Structure 1
Amino acid sequence: MFSQLKRLGADSLLYAFMNVGTKLIAFILFPLYAYYIGDTAKIGILQLVDTNVSMLTFLVIFGTDSALAYYYFEYKDKETREKYVRSVMTFRLSVVFLLVIAFLIGGDWLSSLLLGSSGYTDLFYIALGTLCLDTIVTLVLTILRYEFQTKKVVFTTVAKMLLIAIVSVLFLMFIWDSLDGILVARLISVGIIVLVLIKPVKIYLRPLFEWGILKKILVYAAPLVPASLAFWVIANANNYFLKAYGTLSDVGLYGTAIKFATFITLLTSGIQLAWRPFSMSLKDKDSSPKLFATLYAAFLLVGSLGVLLLATAMPWIILVMPEEFRIAFQYVAPIAIATFLNFYYMIVSTGIFYTKQTKHISIAFGIAAVISVILNFIFVPVFSIWGTVISYIVAYCVALFLVFRKSQKLYYVPFSGFKMAWTIFWLIAATVSIVYIQVKDLNNWSIAGVWIGFIVLILLVRMDKYFVKRK
């Protein structure tokens, strides 16, 4: 067990370093975007473009990431593994090609539908070019991660973000100070990374249409597609409700809060990248359930403390933004709760992926997406941005507990669902309390009281004892 934990710890630490580096670059870059663009409405347009590209990314991946993770570790010989990777690459690039055709035919109409103006069609063309190149880079880095070439993955990922930052700043300062300039800078930067990875790229870019392999991949992956669409609805449809019931400035402020809420991924993303190969490699070990129970509890506690720390520090962190953006600070920590739950569901869904019952993730997130849409209809017209935040948190809470419940039935881990719910409930209460104190400009010592209250409540249910017997 110790050697497995050592590997997880070492890989997670490197991935955490990678994430800290990339997030710091992004956090420096976003205020620069805000200063050069100088308009919350234009930042709202950029947010909507990124929202749509994220949805298209789900379609391109089509659940094949989870399928590839399973079959890559299922087979040991290099030739078979390579066939699976090439099949996935061929499938993904074929989907990108179909999307490009769709936008070439109906780009103006789609731009008007999604952004309210046909004048932004070029933004989608540039973004699709970046999506194509990023599809190649992402799959190559995924295989390097499966091969535990962690240092190479970390270096390449940080280099990509650094390139995007440098090229973006150069474009904004000297060449093209507009949204087009930002997107072209991304395109050029990702293209350079493709050239850096040219050796594995040449191997995996060779098309392979082998129906037997593709069928196995899609049978595993297809049940996850509704889940991917549900993810997109929960995380991104909020932008369209804000645009419909509010303004593009509301979308820009919400997008600002989303960017800063990803601070929580400084804690989680390293683990997230290391978790899949780590957990899949332990599939047949008798000691795994007890190990997983310990990790479930540890991740929940560390993540909760991270959210509260972000809530406490946010009024000072937001000062890096121009004045008109700073009001967004109050939404950041509540959104970070949903961001953390999006990570945490992957940790507690081990049984679903072990047994290939991935349709249950689609069911859980499908239910959560419906709830999210209903809550947006109810709350956004009344509470604006707070309405989207409420729907976001509730949807992920529902999805998490549905996934956890099913995973426990398929592969039991001695971990208390009640204590998990208790911790998340008081995390939400503590976060909202801290934000309320800050917005109302109350005594800062009240925030210390919230911290103490949260810690006492967690100790009350003995979070250090998570092992329970199966009934």
Structure 2
Amino acid sequence: MFSQLKRLGADSLLYAFMNVGTKLIAFILFPLYAHYLVDTSLVGLLQLVDTNVSMLTFLVIFGTDSALAYYYFEYKDKETREKYVRSVMTFRISIVILLFVVFLIGGEWLSVLLLDVPGQSQLFYIALGTLCLDTIITLVLTILRYDFHTKRVVVTTVAKMLLIAIVSLLFLMFVWTSLEGILLARLISVAIIVLVLIKPVRIYLKPLFDWSILKKILIYATPLVPASLAFWIIANANNYFLKAFATLSDIGIYGTAIKFATFITLLTSGIQLAWRPFSMSLKDKESSPKLFSTLYAAFLLIGSLGVLALATLMPWIILVMPEQFRIAFQYVAPISIATFLSFYYMIVSTGIFYSKQTKHISIAFGIAAVVSIILNFIFVPMYSIWGTVISYVVAYCLALFMVFRKSQKLYYVPFSGFKMAWTIFWLIAATLGIVYIQLHDLTSWLIAGVWIVFIILVLLVRMDKYFVKRK
């Protein structure tokens, strides 16, 4: 067990370093975007473009990431593994080409439909070019991650973000101070990284249409597609409700809060990247359930403390933004709860992936997506950005508990659902309490009191003890 934990710890540490580096670059870059674009509505337009591209990314991936993770570890010989990777690459590139044709035919109409602004189709053309190249990079780095080439993944990922930052800054300063300049800088940067990875790219980019392999991949992946769509709805449909019931400036403020809420991924994303190969490698070990129980509790506690730390420090962190964006600080910590839960569900869904019953993730997130839409309809017209925050957090809470419940039935881990619910409930209450204190300029000692009460309440349920299931 110690050797397995050592590997998870080492890989997670390197991935955490990678994500600290990339997030810091992104956090430096975003205020620069805001400085050069000036208008919150332009930042809102960029947020809408990124939102639409994220939806297209889900269509390109089509659940094949989870399928490839399973079959890559199912087969041990290099030749078979390579065939699976090439099949996935061929499938994804084919989808990107199809999307590009669709936007070439209906670009102007789609621009008005998706952005509510005419004459912006060129933004999608550039973004789709970046998506194509990023698809190649992502798959190559995924395989390097599966083969535990952690250092190479870390260096390449940080280099990509650093390139984007440098090229974006040069474009904004000397070439093109516009959204087109930002998107073109991204395209040039990912093109350079493709050249850096040219050796594995040449191997995996060779087209392979093997129906027997593709059929197995799609049978595993297809049940996850509704889940991917549901993820997108929960995380991104809020922008369209704000577009309908508020303004592009509100989308810009909300987008700013989203960017800073990803601070919590400094704690989680390293573990997230290491978790899948780590957990899949322990599938048949007898000691795994107790190990997973310990990790479930540890990740929940660390993530909760991270959210509270972000809530406490956010009024000072937001000062890096121009003044018109600083109102976003109040939304950051509540959104980061949903961001954390979007990571945590992957941890507690081990049984679903072990048993290949991935349809249950689609069912859970499908229900959560419907709930999210209903809540947006109710709360966004009433509370604007706070309405989107409510729908976001509630949807992820609902999905998390549905996934956890089903996963426990398929592969039991001695971890209490009640303790998990108790901790998350008080995390939400404590976060809102801290934000309320900050908004009303109350004494900082009250924030210290919130921390103490939260810690006491969590200690009451003894997260360190295994939960023994009654027969």
Kindly provide the amino acid, as one letter, of the partner of residue 185 in structure 2. Answer: A
TM superposition shift of 1:32: 0.2
Q: Secondary structure at the match of 2:105?
A: helix
Distance across 2 between alignment mates of 1:319 and 1:38: 15
TM superposition shift of 1:464: 1.7
Distance across 2 between alignment mates of 1:295 and 1:461: 16
Whether the 8 Å CA contact 2:258–2:332 is kept in 1: the answer is yes
Q: Secondary structure at the match of 2:252?
A: helix
Say if 2:353 is the partner of 1:353: yes
Kindly provide the amino acid, as one letter, of the partner of residue 244 in structure 1. Answer: A
Distance across 2 between alignment mates of 1:470 and 1:152: 46
TM superposition shift of 1:470: 4.6
Q: Which residue of 2 aligns with 1:455?
A: 455
Distance across 2 between alignment mates of 1:470 and 1:164: 54
Q: Which residue of 1 aligns with 2:223?
A: 223
Distance across 2 between alignment mates of 1:286 and 1:470: 20
Distance across 1 between alignment mates of 2:422 and 2:161: 38
1:40-51 counterparts in 2 under 5 A?
40-51=40-51
1:215-364 counterparts in 2 under 5 A?
215-364=215-364
Which blocks of at least 5 consecutive residues in structure 1 are unaligned?
Answer: none
Which blocks of at least 5 consecutive residues in structure 2 are unaligned?
Answer: none
TM superposition shift of 1:156: 0.1
Kindly provide the amino acid, as one letter, of the partner of residue 253 in structure 1. Answer: I
Q: Which residue of 2 aligns with 1:158?
A: 158
Q: Which residue of 2 aligns with 1:373?
A: 373
Per-residue CA shift, 1:108-143, capped at 9, x if unaligned?
000000111221111000000000000000000000
Distance across 2 between alignment mates of 1:148 and 1:323: 44
Whether the 8 Å CA contact 2:437–2:443 is kept in 1: the answer is yes
Whether the 8 Å CA contact 2:351–2:408 is kept in 1: the answer is yes
Distance across 1 between alignment mates of 2:451 and 2:464: 18
TM superposition shift of 1:171: 0.2
Distance across 1 between alignment mates of 2:409 and 2:461: 24
Distance across 1 between alignment mates of 2:466 and 2:162: 41
Q: Which residue of 1 aligns with 2:123?
A: 123
TM-score (normalised: structure 1): 1.00
TM-score (normalised: structure 2): 1.00
Whether the 8 Å CA contact 2:294–2:464 is kept in 1: the answer is no
Distance across 1 between alignment mates of 2:467 and 2:70: 28
Q: Which residue of 2 aligns with 1:73?
A: 73
Distance across 2 between alignment mates of 1:109 and 1:288: 53
Q: Which residue of 2 aligns with 1:97?
A: 97
Number of equivalenced pairs: 471
Per-residue CA shift, 1:360-380, capped at 9, x if unaligned?
000000000000000000000
Q: Secondary structure at the match of 1:463?
A: coil
Distance across 2 between alignment mates of 1:446 and 1:195: 54
Per-residue CA shift, 1:218-261, capped at 9, x if unaligned?
00000000000000000000000001000000000000000000
Distance across 2 between alignment mates of 1:456 and 1:280: 35
Which deviates further from its counterpart, 461-470 or 178-187? 461-470
TM superposition shift of 1:465: 1.4
Distance across 2 between alignment mates of 1:442 and 1:27: 28
Q: Secondary structure at the match of 2:119?
A: helix
Q: Which residue of 1 aligns with 2:445?
A: 445
Distance across 1 between alignment mates of 2:33 and 2:318: 14
Whether the 8 Å CA contact 1:297–1:466 is kept in 2: the answer is no
Distance across 2 between alignment mates of 1:84 and 1:256: 39
